[in-house]
Amino acid sequence: MKSHYRVVVIGGGVVGSSVLYHLARFGWTDVVMLERSVLTAGSSWHAAGGIHALNADPNMAQLQAYTIDLLSEIEKESGQDIGLHMTGGLTLAGTPERWEWLQSAYRTFQSIGIDDCHLMTPEEAKAACPVMSTDGILGALWADREGYIDTTGTVHAYATAARKRGAEYYEHTKVEALTQTRDGWEVRTDKGTITCAHVVNAGGLWAKQVGRMAGIELPVSPLKHHYLISDTIPELESLDFEVPMTVDLEGFTYMRQDQKGLLLGIYEVEHEHWAMDGAPWDYGMELFQEQTDRIEKELILGFERYPALQHTGVKTWVNGAFTFSPDGNPLVGPVPGKRGYWCACAVMAGFLQGGGVGKSLAEWMIHGEAEADTWSMDVARYGRFAENRDYIRQTTGQFYSRRFVMSYPNEQLPAGRPLKRAPAYSDMSAAGCRWGQSWDLEVPLYFAPAPDFVENLTLKRSNAHDIVAAECRAVREAVGLLDISGFSRFEVSGPAAAAWLDRMMASKLPAPGRAKLAPMLTPSGRLQGDLTVFNWGPDSNGNATWWIMGSYYLRAWHMRWFNDHLIDGVQIRDLGEETCGFSLSGPRSKAVIDTLVEGGVSLPFMGCAALDVGLIRAHVARMSVTGEHGYEINCRYGDHITLRRMLLEAGASEGIREVGFNALLSLRLEKSFGIWTREFTQGYTAAQTGMDRWIDWDKDFIGRAAALEERDGNGPAKRIVTLQLGDGDADPIGYEPVWQNGEMVGFVTSGGYGHTVGKSLAMAMVNVDVAAEGTDLMVHVVGVERAARVIAPSPYDPSGQAMRG
């Protein structure tokens, strides 16, 4: 072992080995992986080895697809047998709702590139898996690229292939301490000290402690997990094929063949955390005693689904632990504020996601950004609030228990909530507010007229549809009041603030007293933000006071980017714990705010100023996301309750109504205004999304060269359009495939019902040759084919008169 490496990867499980392999493959060979015991000695040795192509999160599905492709490659490259059995896979639907969901999910999978799957009748599923009882099964989804591998062989294959490419790894070498230095990290091990520029936490069950070595509290916890392997089953002996990997969602089990027996794994409804502070250091390759009482309900369902298990013995019980983040996705990427400290942990399904995690992390470390959209697994998708132990316990437990439970797009889950509440929360709740969650914050969805109103869970339109319609009407015809505490706000100050902002944002900076929409790009020309920059005018030193506003849940993600690019003479402060506000929008909004501001408000469209609004000193901007004349009124946290009361009183004679984000989402869709994670993601370029219209090509900014190349080349192959759908009882929500003459030409980025235009609407990323207005297309919505037509953007008020006037 040398005393210096470019990278030290801590942990020799499947994830660390994949990171090591990808670093070496992409050209960084001065890298070492340290394993305190032997390779696989964490969760990896006793995993069930199942590989699934299906994942409802398109970014995770892509990671999985990449990993599955890679498996045979590393087997060949390393010469190590990985025991790959590509049996195909079945996902079963046991209720009408689940069957409807599965048919819808099948279309979503198609739109994200998983095209080797198809729906099956129960009889077809039975023929594919004869040991299964199809009692209660309404249908199934077959996927070709599912099966299982030998877990130990796979980890050794990654590590051996990495070594062949020049990387090193050492077993029985425990990392005991980490110290940040000027140039990187000092890694103290029980075999001596190493220095390096980068460390990677791939500590698996010990990731929490490896985080704490650098003062980091990662939102991760191990949970226990059971599977059993049966003795030989005569029915299997008589088959001349292996039965497919089968997931019984209503039964909470997954099953695969293991030699001539079955392996039955259980997602336990009564989950059990283990070692929330990380596994003990002396924890070896051990298993826990099986806890059959705790999993009795799922076992009974499993034995009914596979009746042979009722008269076959159990050869092996495995009760082991593996790690979860609050949303079940991995924690990957650079940890904010810890230069050179990277995460590759909380990987729940290391054998099907580890390849993609290793690839993305290695690209990120070497090139500064990954090829794939990494948002769903970025460690910076969480803020400090997620360090809390009870938050981690509740959210990881909820994810685990609900892993196979049917979920609905309009469902609100309780774990870790309510956490942060804007000051007017109680008053708004008393007024009927129903809440959703953005990051740590409760955000209003809609206001129920009756206290006993219960929204039904559905894949289609819910019984809150008419309530949202009324809120939209209030905004279009009178004035709506929306709590906008759920926006992020950053203050940028210092003598170099303007120069720094000018380089960070691709748009022109606003003049004093004005705000401007500002795309922010990465060096490869992809989006890093759909922001608004405010120039509030000079402070007492004559320097302009700047704000950046964006999506609340991106606060830590954006702050990491800002800090990584900070220069001398600039200070940036996240105002998210001290500033909140309300927006007023609708034709009567001016009348409302005018009664509270001496002399009335005379801001132009996109103008902004610090104003006294009644008793409150506020930062007011004339803008709206609804497409109406509107104002965003930002105040101190302590003023929130008073601001709401003043605005409601002032608006009473103007027909003011409190509205929530469900109405805003419908209203913005009628204006074809995109939003982050839907129309705007780090996977798309400015030209694909139309954000390029805000670019100032005459200045220098991050990503300019790539954006210019796209502009002056052939342009993007895909772009965002607005679709109007034919009648139906459901609206698209995102990732539904878009077809022309049976060929998939794109997918929906977001959709909903336009209550003013009275139509189901969608925005979609489609091939440019079908993007022309008037093109007839088809869209699958909840599994049903619906006619759709490309329409001009902004079906409501296309000239923008209502908003600008």
Ligand X SMILES: Cc1cc2nc3c(=O)[nH]c(=O)nc-3n(C[C@H](O)[C@H](O)[C@H](O)COP(=O)(O)OP(=O)(O)OC[C@H]3O[C@@H](n4cnc5c(N)ncnc54)[C@H](O)[C@@H]3O)c2cc1C
List residues binding ligand X (CB under 6 A). 10-16, 34-37, 41-44, 46-50, 174-175, 202-206, 210, 225, 227, 318, 320-322, 345, 347-352
Contact 558, 575 (CB under 8 A): no
- What is the token pair recorded at 519? 């795309």
Nearer to ligand X among residue 351 and residue 375 (C-beta): 351
- What is the token pair recorded at 147? 């099966």
Nearer to ligand X among residue 267 and residue 487 (C-beta): 267
Unique residue bearing structure tokens 């009870």 = 390
DSSP string, 24-45: HHTT--SEEEE-SSSTTTTTGG
**Angle 68-32-524 (CA atoms, 0-180°, nearest 5)?**
60
Burial label, 108 (beta-carbon count in 10 A; 0-12, 13-18, 19+): buried
**Distance in Å, CB of 735 to ligand X, minimum:** 23
Nearer to ligand X among residue 34 and residue 467 (C-beta): 34
- What is the token pair recorded at 686? 């400015």
Contacts (Cβ under 8 Å, ≥6 apart) of 650:
592, 593, 595, 596, 614, 656
Dihedral of CA atoms 125, 131, 136, 140 in degrees, nearest 10, equals -20
**Distance in Å, CB of 348 to ligand X, minimum:** 6
**Distance in Å, CB of 207 to ligand X, minimum:** 7
Give the residue among 632, 631, 583, 586 at the shortest CA–CA distance from 478. 586
Give the residue among 710, 697, 666, 672 at the shortest CA–CA distance from 800. 672
Nearer to ligand X among residue 291 and residue 522 (C-beta): 291
Burial label, 431 (beta-carbon count in 10 A; 0-12, 13-18, 19+): middle
- What is the token pair recorded at 572? 């940036």
**Distance in Å, CB of 560 to ligand X, minimum:** 23
Nearer to ligand X among residue 345 and residue 362 (C-beta): 345
**Distance in Å, CB of 143 to ligand X, minimum:** 15
Nearer to ligand X among residue 362 and residue 518 (C-beta): 362
**Distance in Å, CB of 282 to ligand X, minimum:** 11
Contact 234, 261 (CB under 8 A): no
**Distance in Å, CB of 210 to ligand X, minimum:** 5
**Distance in Å, CB of 81 to ligand X, minimum:** 18
> What span, in angstroms and rounded, lies between the C-alpha atoms of 323 and 764?
35
Nearer to ligand X among residue 51 and residue 608 (C-beta): 51
Most distant CA pair in the chain: distance in Å?
A: 89
**Distance in Å, CB of 324 to ligand X, minimum:** 10
Q: Where are the beta strands (DSSP E) in 314-448?
A: 314-324, 331-334, 341-345, 433-438, 441-447
**Distance in Å, CB of 110 to ligand X, minimum:** 23
Nearer to ligand X among residue 347 and residue 667 (C-beta): 347
Nearer to ligand X among residue 203 and residue 383 (C-beta): 203
Tell me how far CA of residue 595 lies from CA of 580, 620, 627, 631, 652, in angstroms: 21, 15, 22, 14, 12
**Distance in Å, CB of 724 to ligand X, minimum:** 42
Nearer to ligand X among residue 352 and residue 554 (C-beta): 352
Contact 182, 47 (CB under 8 A): no
Length of the chain: 805
**Distance in Å, CB of 177 to ligand X, minimum:** 9
Nearer to ligand X among residue 35 and residue 731 (C-beta): 35
Nearer to ligand X among residue 152 and residue 545 (C-beta): 152
Nearer to ligand X among residue 198 and residue 417 (C-beta): 198
Positive/negative CA dihedral, 41, 42, 44, 47: positive
> What span, in angstroms and rounded, lies between the C-alpha atoms of 499 and 172?
51
**Distance in Å, CB of 349 to ligand X, minimum:** 4
End-to-end alpha carbon distance in the chain: 70
